[in-house]
Amino acid sequence: MIEVSVYAVLYSLLSRHRIVLLKETHGERYLPIWIGQYESEAIAMRLQGASVPRPLTHDLLANVIAELGGAVQYIVVNDLHNNTFYARIAVVHDGELQLIDSRPSDAIALAVRTAVPIFVEESVMDKAGIVSSPDIRSAKEEEEQGEEEDNLDIFRDFVDTLDLDDLGD
């Protein structure tokens, strides 16, 4: 298994498409996984340290596991079949490890709440992993470019999607 961390939650300004981008802890590959809007918001909110007055679904799941005497140990993205990713949540209960089937987005949202490691099976990373490109900037590179330029990315994305051929004279 390869340990990864949540590198970014990416979204399109023009659609509901969301991607969680996982990065190898000790490597250069990234794993992009398409996820739903609500799961992307749950992951991003937790990574940003935002709090809510009442538990969200993934907070509830963490609370239920803990109240029933279990503990989340790790999550693993364990398979990729027909362009669908699969994951498992590893929970220890009464000294026994249980692997619970999950969507990767839910497992990742739970992992960021319980501060447990996230892993990807080698075969999954081999099938779907990508290497860095100029379109993927590191956090350090973004800091070096400064806040002002980062705020312009939203406008740059919008301008890049304009179809100027449809404009009349």
Local confidence pLDDT in tens for the 169 residues of the chain: 999 999 989 887 777 788 999 999 999 999 999 998 888 888 988 888 888 888 888 889 999 999 999 999 999 999 999 999 999 999 999 999 999 999 999 999 999 999 999 999 999 999 999 887 665 555 555 555 554 455 555 545 555 655 555 544 4
**How far is the C-alpha of 83 from the C-alpha of 91, rounded, in Å?**
26
Separation between Cα atoms, residue 4 and residue 59, nearest integer Å: 22
Architecture of the structural domain at 2-133: Roll (3.10)
* pLDDT at residue 65 in the model: 95
CB 100 within 8 A of CB 107: no
Q: Where in the chain are the domains?
A: 2-133
- Asked if residues 86 and 79 have their Cβ atoms less than 8 Å apart, the reply is yes
Locate 59 and state its tokens. 């907070």
Specify the pLDDT at position 11. Answer: 83
